[in-house]
Structure 1
């Protein structure tokens, strides 16, 4: 996406945190490793979703070109290439650095296309399947974005939009630090930040986020919504713990001013790299969220 916009569009799931950081302050190139690790944690759910998309496309036989719009470092694009081996799979992103990472990790299986959205919707070329994961909400006019993607589909083509789902959970309601319900209060602060982010986008347009209705207004025929579980139970492996630690570190910077002193102290305790109460060591830490995918096709 263009530099004056929130530089996102990367498929890194509902676990990402906007907080109260202004749109222009995000540097997704610098977060490449974080984005990659988050997508890898979501890979089993995305693989299941891709199987479902394959069934909706007649076992993938008619799919010749797939776009991953907002691909980031290309983890999900690679999984789509696994599901549709006969198709050209194109990772589409604003960031040249992330696209180079996508090309390198795919071993040449992926094509890449740099695009600043929404200006470059018309340059994407036709596709039989478009995946967009947590990217549409970073464009001011979400309905216009869906309509533009619908116009890119070939006859019979399918659009899959992964948006929202359920927020990440990583500890019990009462985990022995501070006041119970810590994560619910984090969610509330995050939702306020999300609303601020949306309001600051160029061309921001308020929209009731009924995704099936929005897809219908885009000229498509809805063909189902499914939710896929991202479930890594306790005890967590080290890479997942490190990802949680990085996520909470970002939260500390973004939301600290919007939390009370008790919750800030809890967050600091979770970030302590040496204490047994820290998320890097505690035996009760897990990684659980849900990814919802809305689909519609050209009829």
Structure 2
């Protein structure tokens, strides 16, 4: 998992969607990596002192590669539960000339996170929400930090918006109903996670409870106005196709038929051709550091 909003789907089942999303989010990830570099301290010396970076829930390695660029002397480790996503991360690194800078490790349980260190910087994108005990996951991640190290937790933000309220087919407000169906499905699946524990998702408080000192929160915006380019349209069609399979049974017949029209590659009302399609989303990153006086 990177910064994407792909809910609780296994990476192996997502196909090309993470790669397409990574392309859309590349600017955001580069901005976030530069911001993290500034949080660690001014000047090139601080960046050079970062020797090891973990990207936990790496997906296809988009954030891993941006972190490797921001910290050119660091070993970057992409960590994910999906072998296919780790393979894609290695391919991406090779294509960007980062072979030798990026390695991969499989892991998915909180108790494994503490065994990944030591690290000067840990980035984790949309991982905690998929684990039953989010506080335990953060505490385990924090245990992998070197003194002075930074943990960056990318969770939630604002879900993608890509359609106007009235799209000329079906009932107005389709996107809001899709979001509601996704939230209901996510809540149902989260309640069935092993060791599921309900917590207030106040990330600064959760990070403090993990023994860290909150260092700042920032939201990064992606705003691609209409008309969209082909790659963004293909991503939206891929996303809508997956959503139809996952939450189609939670939609009424009219909304299901509308989504079917949107994913129809030949229909002028489909997302591949609509002149009103756009892409707007926001990703929030919460950070905290391990006090230098602690081991």
TM-score by length of 2: 0.92
The equivalent of 1:64 in structure 2 is: 51
Where 1:178 maps in the other structure, the secondary structure is coil
Which residues of 2 match residues 1-299 of structure 1 at below 5 A?
10-14=1-5, 16-18=6-8, 26-59=9-42, 60-107=47-94, 108=99, 109-299=101-291
Distance 1:111 1:12 in 2: 20
Q: Tell whether the 8 Å contact from 1:63 to 1:128 is kept in structure 2 after alignment.
A: yes
Distance 2:153 2:80 in 1: 16
Gaps of 5+ in 2: none
Distance 2:234 2:115 in 1: 38
Distance 1:12 1:62 in 2: 26
Q: Tell whether the 8 Å contact from 2:57 to 2:79 is kept in structure 1 after alignment.
A: yes
User: Offset of 1:17 from its aligned partner?
Assistant: 4.2
User: Offset of 1:255 from its aligned partner?
Assistant: 1.2
User: Offset of 1:244 from its aligned partner?
Assistant: 0.6
Segments ≥4 residues shifted beyond 4 Å: none
Gaps of 5+ in 1: 1-9, 19-25
Q: Tell whether the 8 Å contact from 1:32 to 1:98 is kept in structure 2 after alignment.
A: no
Q: Tell whether the 8 Å contact from 1:68 to 1:90 is kept in structure 2 after alignment.
A: yes
- Higher RCO by CA contacts (8 Å cutoff, separation 6 or greater): 1
**CA displacement 1:124-173 (0-9 Å, x = unmatched):** 02000000000111111000000111111111100000000001100111
User: Offset of 1:98 from its aligned partner?
Assistant: 1.8
User: Offset of 1:12 from its aligned partner?
Assistant: 4.5
Distance 2:256 2:82 in 1: 33
The equivalent of 1:7 in structure 2 is: none
TM-score by length of 1: 0.91
Q: Tell whether the 8 Å contact from 1:12 to 1:35 is kept in structure 2 after alignment.
A: no
Distance 2:224 2:275 in 1: 13
Distance 1:99 1:92 in 2: 7
Q: Tell whether the 8 Å contact from 1:140 to 1:202 is kept in structure 2 after alignment.
A: yes
Q: Tell whether the 8 Å contact from 1:67 to 1:92 is kept in structure 2 after alignment.
A: yes
Distance 1:248 1:97 in 2: 22
Distance 1:66 1:94 in 2: 18
CA RMSD after TM alignment: 1.3
User: Offset of 1:116 from its aligned partner?
Assistant: 3.4
Where 1:58 maps in the other structure, the secondary structure is coil
Q: Tell whether the 8 Å contact from 1:17 to 1:251 is kept in structure 2 after alignment.
A: no
Q: Tell whether the 8 Å contact from 1:103 to 1:112 is kept in structure 2 after alignment.
A: yes
Distance 1:253 1:94 in 2: 23
